[in-house]
Structure 1
């Protein structure tokens, strides 16, 4: 009786293995998207943004669409603006410095942004997080200056732990 039970279990196991081996799994890969879903506007139709380094030298002038944020634009055009938290307002690595006349056109930073800005390197009165600066037509021609350095608490403040 025990031998018959074991034989039945083996047959079921073999059938399961055969079904698994011959079954086809249909996987549907996701479409990969660029960071921030930025699409480049046709030349001459977008909002012009100038990026400068800490010394004031022009890094690049780019065009973007209304509603895009500075961090996504910088990534789209390979400008060295880190964004370690990927725009979730959990770091200050996308800190930019804006001219006062453009800074005043933006909505006030919320508490989360102000908390992260407090940790930014080279903070000024017109500092903002690039991920929070959404472009509007009135910001056409704005210059965003990149600070000389960033503080990445995910890396800089990380202490090794024993496992």
Structure 2
């Protein structure tokens, strides 16, 4: 029996979801400094075109409640804070949508440079940048 899903798609779905993850298997890695909820600096290695959320999941970092909706714009738990120059770069690479703004409205610790990690695609333009995860988290699904 032929399935409409390839082995690639099935292996690369988000956990507990039918939504395929767009994956880039580049050997090139972008380094991102991630400040977690405890204020600890972690170094994240990400492939170009992955999202910040994908990179955190792939790295195995245990960040409480980060990305619980698995990147479907159904919560605000992957809320991150960018430095102004990085925010401006990301606005050009992946402009925010109305749906992202709606979810950000429900995030704790919102700033003018806040974005959702599931909407931010990694590029070489942000190599070496620092991204902060707010200390508090709110899940928009519970509001």
Q: Please state which band the TM-score falls in when normalised by the shorter chain.
A: 0.7 to 0.9
> How far has the Cα of 1:32 moved from its partner?
2.9
Q: How many residues align?
A: 128
Q: Residue 120 of structure 1 corresponds to which residue in structure 2? A: 107
Q: Check conservation: 1:69, 1:130, Cα contact below 8 A.
A: yes
Match of 2:53 in 1: 71
Whether the aligned pair in 1 keeps the contact of 2:107 and 2:140 (CA below 8 Å) is no
The answer to whether structure 1 residue 104 and structure 2 residue 88 are counterparts is: yes
**Gap regions ≥5 residues in structure 1:** 1-25, 158-163
Asked if structure 2 preserves the Cα contact closer than 8 Å seen for 1:34 and 1:76, the reply is no
Query: Which of 17, 20, 35 pairs up with 1:52?
Result: 35
Q: Which has the higher contact order (CA 8 A, sep 6+)?
A: 2
* Rg (Cα) greater in structure: 1
Give the match's secondary structure for 2:135. Answer: coil
Residue 105 of structure 1 aligns to a residue whose secondary structure is helix
CA distance in 2, matches of 1:153, 1:114: 12
Distance in 2 (CA, whole Å) between partners of 1:144 and 1:131 is 13
What is the TM-score normalised by the length of structure 2? Answer: 0.76
- RMSD, aligned CA: 2.4
Q: How far apart, CA to CA, are the structure 2 residues paired with 1:112 and 1:34?
A: 22
